[in-house]
Structure 1
């Protein structure tokens, strides 16, 4: 099968926002969009005006309606985009994991916290994000195309990107080429600035104030972290010379810095190691926190 950008549909507002984001990404990547609706055992709550006719199978009725209406709306919004739809009589997690195998990118919706910018990642989204071998992007309900762009983009010189920054959370202790390349590629496709954030902490013994260590010791460590970050990104700057990169080596909790950066980002990119936890799959504490609290779409890129 040819590569696609694939979006999972369940008829919810968040999945429709994810499908629209996936359509824009498919256009950026010059790929077709595949809409996948896994309809077996879905707990549908039908509005009175939407209930199927008497005698009809309600699940099959909804399984046919959800992708059909989504496809019609996406064709209207994105004329020329190649779209295919699949209705899969299977539970959502195994169906989406199988669909991801043929996809270049899988896009899913996440429920937005009412009144709070962030994600409430459901069991389906978290299970798929933890188990797939392909990158997964999670998009909250209400995410619009204009949210990807700077509010004052039209007032800026033409040399500046109309897109908000792509933010990459980079762990220099375990850097991943797959995660870094995904972020650079995303910034390139958007002509966006790539903001790379590496979080570090002072050694635990630094706070005890030994005579051998003064304030200059912390400054030296900060300079070393900044230098290591620049060195790690040097080959990628050469591979993607047109991408403008800003580097931030910051003290503190990585998830907190990434969540703050997400408030004015078009996309946040984080990694997930391919490993199993004692029970099920594991996405790691930083990625977990970012998925639950970031205001921007979040790309989770698996790596060894």
Structure 2
């Protein structure tokens, strides 16, 4: 079922959590896992290079290889030998992951726990991969847990891609699916907010029919909420197993690869977040 799930690892606990998440997702989907362990040594940047009598130390490639071998063995022990592979890449981590993502169904990367410095902690690798990968990217925070898959939609093409991925993930994991549409009523129309919400709920339920037909086993809850999508989805992430969003929503500006909602979730969500870009033909 699919090509493989790609996961980036290093020597941090967060990457081990991402590895476990990827392997468990592969077990559910019947997929393979490919592990990337990247490192980057730029000999020309060593300050002592060129000093007479100086012999630069050998980069600890064996340590990187050991990280990779352990991760691949972990995947193979749980998926079978033929469904676990790896690549040791002398490249910047984001570049290595993006190179392999071309043939992946999904990319999984880890990030640190949410805290007051979360925007800085997310890191350039997760941000770059989520912005540029040609397939869905799951940024994992914390151990895997049960709970609904939550997906935000706004009727855009990007959110259609997010819906398709969310239904697939709910089917594979056996978790229920909560589809969320957020809107902000204008003050002058407060008296019609209730009727507008009902109309939106009916429209949303009707728009989901093709996905329901393709994934009849998924238990679907439709939720129309008043308020900012980023804030509502962050709240829902507290009990979710995964929150899924498109990379840009309605009104996205060309060149801004991650919209405000996806950025906010990557920085502040309590659960793993999947960012789904529009497929490029």
Q: Which band: TM-score by shorter chain?
A: 0.7 to 0.9
CA distance in 1 between counterparts of 2:253 and 2:106 reads 22
Alignment of 1:123-272 (within 5 A): 123-140=124-141, 143-145=142-144, 148-149=145-146, 164-172=147-155, 176-206=159-189, 215=191, 217-272=192-247
Instruction: Return closer, same or farther for 1:231/1:176 CA change in 2, 3 Å cut-off.
Output: same
- Contact 1:119–1:294 (CA under 8 A) maintained in structure 2: no
- Contact 2:151–2:245 (CA under 8 A) maintained in structure 1: yes
CA distance in 1 between counterparts of 2:241 and 2:20 reads 14
2:52 maps to what in 1? none
2:93 maps to what in 1? 92
1:27 aligns with 2:27: yes
Q: Secondary structure at the residue paired with 1:57?
A: coil
CA distance in 1 between counterparts of 2:224 and 2:12 reads 39
1:293 aligns with 2:273: no
2:107 maps to what in 1? 106
Deviation (angstroms), 1:119 = 9.1
Give the total of aligned pairs: 263
CA distance in 1 between counterparts of 2:205 and 2:165 reads 18
- Contact 1:17–1:109 (CA under 8 A) maintained in structure 2: yes
Instruction: Return closer, same or farther for 1:190/1:61 CA change in 2, 3 Å cut-off.
Output: same
CA distance in 2 between counterparts of 1:296 and 1:62 reads 31
Residues 12-63 of structure 1: CA deviation (Å, up to 9, x unaligned): 1111111110011111111111110111149xxxxxxxxxxxx962441332
Q: Secondary structure at the residue paired with 1:111?
A: coil
Instruction: Return closer, same or farther for 1:175/1:33 CA change in 2, 3 Å cut-off.
Output: closer
Higher alpha-carbon deviation: 103-112 or 174-183: 174-183
Q: Secondary structure at the residue paired with 2:208?
A: helix
Aligned-residue CA RMSD (Å): 2.7
CA distance in 2 between counterparts of 1:175 and 1:114 reads 29
CA distance in 1 between counterparts of 2:31 and 2:156 reads 34
Q: Secondary structure at the residue paired with 1:263?
A: helix
- Contact 2:248–2:262 (CA under 8 A) maintained in structure 1: no
- Contact 2:73–2:84 (CA under 8 A) maintained in structure 1: no
2:58 maps to what in 1? 57
- Contact 1:40–1:59 (CA under 8 A) maintained in structure 2: no
- Contact 1:111–1:119 (CA under 8 A) maintained in structure 2: no
- Contact 1:6–1:100 (CA under 8 A) maintained in structure 2: yes
CA distance in 2 between counterparts of 1:73 and 1:22 reads 11
- Contact 1:112–1:119 (CA under 8 A) maintained in structure 2: no
Higher alpha-carbon deviation: 195-204 or 78-87: 78-87
Higher alpha-carbon deviation: 3-12 or 112-121: 112-121
- Contact 1:167–1:261 (CA under 8 A) maintained in structure 2: yes
Instruction: Return closer, same or farther for 1:60/1:277 CA change in 2, 3 Å cut-off.
Output: farther
CA distance in 1 between counterparts of 2:179 and 2:114 reads 27
CA distance in 1 between counterparts of 2:113 and 2:61 reads 28
- Contact 2:162–2:246 (CA under 8 A) maintained in structure 1: yes
- Contact 1:3–1:31 (CA under 8 A) maintained in structure 2: yes
- Contact 1:39–1:59 (CA under 8 A) maintained in structure 2: no
Residues 45-96 of structure 1: CA deviation (Å, up to 9, x unaligned): xxxxxxxxxx9624413321211222344455x2636211110111122211
TM-score norm. by structure 2 comes to 0.84
